[in-house]
Amino acid sequence: MEFHADLHIHSKYSRACSKDCDLEHLAWWAARKGIAVVGTGDFTHPAWREQLRSKLVPAEPGLFRLAPDIEAEVLRTLPPACRNPSRFMLSVEISTIYKRGERTRKVHHLLYAPTMEAAETITADLARIGNLASDGRPILGLDSRDLLEITLASDPGSYLVPAHVWTPWFAVLGSKSGFDAVADCYADLAEHIFAVETGLSSDPEMNWTVSSLDAYTQVSNSDAHSPPMLAREATRFDTALDYHAIRRALQTGDGFRGTVEFFPEEGKYHLDGHRKCGVRMEPHTTREHGGRCPVCAKPLTVGVSHRVHELADRPLGHRPVGAAGFTSLVPLPEVVSEIVGVGPKSKRVQGEVARLVGELGSELDILTSAPTDEVARVGGTLLGEAVTRLRAGAVVREGGYDGEYGTIRMFRPGEPTSAGSAPALFDAGELASPSAAPGPAPGRTARTGRGPRPPRAGSDGAGAEPGTAGAGDAQGDAPGNGHPDHGQAGGADDGEAEARTAALRPGEVPEPAMASAVPAGEPAAAVSAPSGARPAAAQGTKAPDSPVLFADDADTPAPPVARSVLDGLDPEQRAAAAAPAGPLLVVAGPGTGKTRTLTRRIAHLVADCGVPAASFLAITFTRRAAEELTERLGGLLGEAAGGITVATFHRLGLLILREQHERAGLSPGFGIADTARQLEVAAAAAGSEQEGKRLLARRDAGEPAEEDAGYERRLRELDLVDFADLVSLPVRLLEADDELAAAYRERWSRISVDEYQDVDEWQYALLRLLTGPDGDITAIGDPDQAVYGFRGADVGFFLRFTTDFTDAATVRLSRNYRSNAAIVDAAVQAIAPASLVPGRELRAVGDFTDPPRIGMHVAADERAEAAFVARSVDRLLGGTSWHSLDSGRVTGDGDGGLSFSDFCVLYRTDAQSEAVMRAFNTAGVPYQKRSHDRLLARPGVRMLADELVHHAQGPLPERVRSAVELLCERHSADEERCADLRTAGELVLPLAAECGADLAEFLSALAMGAEVDALDPRADRVALLTLHAAKGLEFPVVFLVGCDDGLLPFRLPGAAPDGGAEAEERRLFFVGLTRAQHRLYLSRARRRTRRGAAADTAPSAFLDAIDAGLTMPVDEESAARKRPRDRQMRLL
């Protein structure tokens, strides 16, 4: 059977979508429009997924329909001719933003699943990538190739279609952030892509000029953001009404009958231009201007027409063998609107369209197959004439650009003025006079007219057989002002004057072509012929006169191959790495290549000096640092690196205890007590849980009391050690046996210690026992980054190194390769009042051209501060959504080459992350707390846990879902809270599934610190970190929030300043500043809520040390809360 399908739509849970985008309205409008199969959209959104489960029932294989009672009610309200129940196909649009090839890529994809189970599998995998509850079309930091892999793994029938492939900002072939070929985007899985959605700003005739698209079936869909927008583009099939038959038709072409299209000029990214300046250009004019706006000199948005021409390797008019046809249409309300002279959403137009549908059938039938004399009889002669012209492609076109929609008109100015030609249902006097038609509004772009063009190759023009399908362009909004939907791009003609052709009626005179650039306020040009693409060079090549804007990036020369492990080091690093045997202290400032120097020193001694690898012991503080050290040594030494012992202090202690377990009174298989077990034993030994916590705190601080001995005895009885024992027990063993200590000193005769400023008393003792008074030890670190005093670390051990080892050499590393000069200079100024490095020097030597100043932001409160961070991420990425662009919030291309994982938000206390997470949830920005991301710390999880105890017995996942729905109903007025609750539900589902039906176990796991299920390593996410957890990391863009007195330096409310504590806080501030590579933002709030009390705040005193010339104020948008006007006043 032949039918139309519209497989790209959105639910009411997607941003900027109508609240009417529910299943009932979608089914009603699909039937009225003439759509047999419609996509569900948004199946990854938890609330919409519940709607799909409760209101849809299985129909034909892989398809669904409304439940019988709901379907009957929908059909009852439709005109008799349209009472054909629609089918639903499970679908979702996913936005991916990631970095590949040093470029930011932004690509949208359509995913289809044949079963609810497959959709659930996809959802579960994507929930580990990012936040699915904030938007029906989620934004994920995930490579397109990996998204395809997840889709294919869900079910053999699941498939992916690249969405609106030509859109400049968010598409696989887009000019701003796409690729030059679809296959490049999906890498080794590209063979699994067999269809592409072409977008509103292009049509098949344009796409046929690009031979690489011959491999794909070109489909079109409406991308409707409101139900009336369904079917503005659609795909036609002649298959069984069956998911798998539709998939087969797309894969093989058998049963695919083409598309229904927008006229590409109507798409809002068809031509090049700059909306802010009201400038619109044809591609050749863009090149003449070097890709820049002639008004403001900023880069133009390169449209679809230009982009298609850029990749074209065939002339316009070429039609591949076997290519299906297409029909270009204008929605029926738009046609009637032009005749009546009032808006397409007006009651008058909607009423007349309803009457036409009631008498003639669905809107698609009226536009494509109803006899024109019958259309004229029912709708009037003007409507009959309009439909005739529409089917012939003889319309007036005005090209859209840079987010401004184009317009398509059936009549030229002055035509519909004769009373004799008025439609039967309108009085002649009611017709709008062309002379009264409004011109461009002040400040808006004047649209340039385009005349009718003849039926194109492959299009269904006048006289085409009913039922043949037509051509398409991809996503976008309906024409005219006030579009409720976000358009997407497509388009391809070059627009050169010599390539234009026009079909002129008898007596018509050719009109001038479009102006090269039409600034706002100038009159619209006369009707002219549409532009066509001139033959382009071979695909992948650029015109010889193309400016740098469109040129390929120059190849980066390969670096010279190093001949020695010391090659490539700067003089300071080389001095440290090549220093002779003996104790060595390396004072390494941030970003100076500390790890590089340490690994090169070890590799030099092994490879160049012949020192046995087994004699080296390298100690770090974190597992991550140990893994990096091991990897780098392996790269330098190959298999020889396997002989080097690399360990954290605790791992080293465990190794010694495993070897000496009998001396320690332990069995060979002794265990390590985790946090919960430690508390259990401590509580039993101390008499209460509270006293047990105090006992453990004393041990962590290295200050055990005599009464704590019972805790240790109980651990030994249980054949357990705790984390403190892993260092203290080896120290006691070595202190008690000189021969044992000597054996270990002989085994590891050369010891290197990273981050030496962070050692505590027990670790220091262990090092002295392993090195002896004359040992060969290399200590590397920076006393100005000593920030773990609260854990017992003592920077004094670093400062006394040359006293402990009187013959020690000292080398300073002062060349910073990480950060730009503004950041480095600010950091040095900030640490100067408390620096522990006499004559502290740090110089930026990286390749940073014209580094930006440090951004300073003052917000009204912590919520406004978090909103500033979310906005800034959006802007620096060049927009993460259509709303970013359409609202004018983002006006540029961003900072270039950034992805979500390039951003980091730092804060002093974990409580500050709450506001940031809420802002990111609202904005749909994927994020990850990188330090102890406990589930109970996530917004909404605690409320959900409290609610679960009131729900009936059953599997916990179902109880979680029902609790989320009930809570969202209870808090329906608070959209932010509802988003948090839905996100919380997704986060706890893995733990709920693990606990089955055992609620007590589930709640216990939450209480004991269960963390967010390990997120997919393929995901890009913004990092949220405390300043302490950020140590050793670096990011291109860093936001340091909470630069308030009381947070930096941190003091409890009412506490007096402490000089020693404040010095460490200043060092912590220094650490935070030096995490940033390219951009640094420091923000504070005028008023902040801490421990439940809101109070005015003063700026951190640490900011005073930074020269004002290094900073600049940024984003005043949230600096003050605007008081909303009284509601009653607005009503009046």
| C-alpha to C-alpha distance for 128 and 412, rounded to whole angstroms | 55
CB count, 10 Å around CB of 253?
A: 15
| C-alpha to C-alpha distance for 218 and 547, rounded to whole angstroms | 31
| C-alpha to C-alpha distance for 779 and 794, rounded to whole angstroms | 15
* Residues 298, 270 contacting (CB under 8 angstroms): no
588 carries a ligand binding annotation: yes
| C-alpha to C-alpha distance for 292 and 730, rounded to whole angstroms | 68
Distances (CA, A) of 924 to 358, 855, 1106: 42, 24, 34
* Residues 247, 161 contacting (CB under 8 angstroms): no
278 carries a ligand binding annotation: no
Q: In sequence order, which ranges of 1040-1110 are alpha helices (DSSP H)?
A: 1059-1073
351 carries a ligand binding annotation: no
Q: Which of 593, 608, 603, 606 is nearest to 636 (CA)?
A: 603
Amino acid identity for residue 16 in this structure: A
Burial class of 142 by CB neighbour count within 10 A (0 to 12, 13 to 18, 19+): buried
591 carries a ligand binding annotation: yes
Could you identify the residue written with the tokens 């051209």? 849
Could you identify the residue written with the tokens 């949230």? 1118
DSSP label at residue 271: B
**What is the C-alpha R_g of the chain?**
34
What residues pair up with 818 in beta bridges, in sequence order? none
Locate 665 and state its tokens: 């009174």
| C-alpha to C-alpha distance for 788 and 795, rounded to whole angstroms | 9
802 carries a ligand binding annotation: no
What residues pair up with 145 in beta bridges, in sequence order? none
First-residue to last-residue Cα distance in the chain: 57
Helix (H) or strand (E) holding 461: none
Distances (CA, A) of 29 to 161, 361, 639, 1011: 24, 13, 67, 45
Characterize 433-449 residue by residue with b for buried, 16 or more Cβ atoms within 10 angstroms of its Cβ, and e for exposed. Answer: eeeeeeebeeeebbbbb
Burial class of 188 by CB neighbour count within 10 A (0 to 12, 13 to 18, 19+): exposed
Q: Which contacts (CB < 8 Å, 24+ apart) does range 549-557 have?
A: 549/290, 549/291, 549/292, 549/299, 550/287, 550/291, 550/302, 550/310
Q: Which of 752, 771, 754, 765 is nearest to 792 (CA)?
A: 765
Q: Which of 355, 406, 401, 412 is nearest to 378 (CA)?
A: 355
What residues pair up with 280 in beta bridges, in sequence order? 273
590 carries a ligand binding annotation: yes
In whole angstroms, what separates CA 367 from the centre of its chain?
40
CA angle 95, 99, 105 (to 5 degrees): 45
Distances (CA, A) of 403 to 295, 397, 772: 18, 16, 72
Distances (CA, A) of 36 to 53, 55, 75, 476: 21, 18, 13, 21
Q: Which contacts (CB < 8 Å, 24+ apart) does range 910-918 have?
A: 910/937, 910/1026, 911/1090, 912/862, 912/1041, 912/1042, 912/1047, 913/937, 913/1024, 914/939, 915/862, 915/863, 915/865, 915/866, 916/866, 916/869, 916/1024, 916/1041, 917/1024, 918/863, 918/866, 918/976, 918/980
* Residues 315, 496 contacting (CB under 8 angstroms): no
Locate 450 and state its tokens: 């385009």
Which residues define the annotated binding site?
588-595
Which residues define the annotated binding site for ATP?
588-595
